[in-house]
Amino acid sequence: MTQNKAVPSQIVKQPADKDTARSVAEALLTTGCVMFAANGQEPFTLTSGEKSPVYVDCRRLISYPVERALVMRLGNLHLQQSLDVLNGIDYIAGGETAGIPYAAWLAEAMEKPMIYVRKQPKGFGRMAQIEGHLPEGESPTVLLVEDMATDGGSKIAFADALREAGTHINHIFCPFYYDIFPHSEDILGKAHLTIHYLTTWADILQVIEEQKLFPPGDLDAIKTFLRSPEEWRKQYG
């Protein structure tokens, strides 16, 4: 496997500024991307297989041109500030499938070539896991783009596939990141990955409370989960 470039003094998390976080949280709430399982309802099942009373579906955002344009503009600005995208990134890679439209919009805005990576090689034709064109004999630096991340674990397979193809990847971008699981930094750090994100559950919850979008009693289970996901799962999951 191709060795990845070292990341000096690696920072595992690169959040956006507070104004950006709030704007994106409001956009996700406005477009119905934020979902809650009220008391008595079946909790959501995350990609990891774990249960959760809350869920953010950023795939829904693609149907709202005004809000998605805002999110992508803020994402582009954040990446320009936190990462040398123009000179340090050669390709934008979308993760199958939800990351593909976000990668396409970023690649267009940054005037970068785009590829996308499958969860596993397709079982016919070229048996390809990476679609698009990667030049042979070169080692381009890639930014992986996904719609969201829970604990970051599902991104490792994408990163491994990209590295196997000869690219260098140390950075991920997601509009939304849970940022509640204590083991997330360990997972990302061991994979030499830094996650750049715009908003989190803490930001969404702050907007909900300030704007009184839900009755306080409806948020009790959600707050319990966000404070301690493992304890919530022991009781409800």
The predicted structure's pLDDT at residue 124: 46
More confident residue, 214 or 127: 214
Q: What is the rounded distance in angstroms from the CA atom of residue 230 to the CA atom of residue 233? A: 5
Q: What are phi and psi of 148, to 5 degrees?
A: -165, 170
The predicted structure's pLDDT at residue 7: 44
Say yes or no to pLDDT of 224 above 70.
Answer: yes
Give DSSP secondary structure letters for the chain: -PPPPP-TT--SEEEPPHHHHHHHHHHHHHTT-EEE--TTSPPEE-TTS-EESEEE-GGGGGG-HHHHHHHHHHHHHHHHHHS-HHHH--EEEEETTTHHHHHHHHHHHHT--EEEE-SS--SSTT--SEES---TT---EEEEE-SEESSSTTHHHHHHHHHHTT-EEEEEEEEEE----TTHHHHHHHTT-EEEEEE-HHHHHHHHHHTT-S-GGGGHHHHHHHH-HHHHHHHT-
**CATH T-level topology, domain 13-235:** Rossmann fold (3.40.50)
Say yes or no to pLDDT of 94 above 90.
Answer: yes
Mean pLDDT for all residues in the chain? 88
Q: What are phi and psi of 145, to 5 degrees?
A: -120, 130
- Each residue's pLDDT tens digit, 159-201: 999 999 999 999 999 999 999 988 899 999 999 999 999 999 9
- Each residue's pLDDT tens digit, 123-162: 544 547 899 999 888 899 999 999 999 888 889 999 999 9
The predicted structure's pLDDT at residue 125: 40
Query: How far from 141 is each of 13, 80, 128, 137, CA to CA, in Å?
Result: 19, 16, 20, 13
Where residue 236 falls among pLDDT bands split at 50, 70, 90?
low
Where residue 109 falls among pLDDT bands split at 50, 70, 90?
very high
- The pLDDT of 9-25, averaged and rounded, is 91
- Each residue's pLDDT tens digit, 48-64: 777 888 899 999 999 99
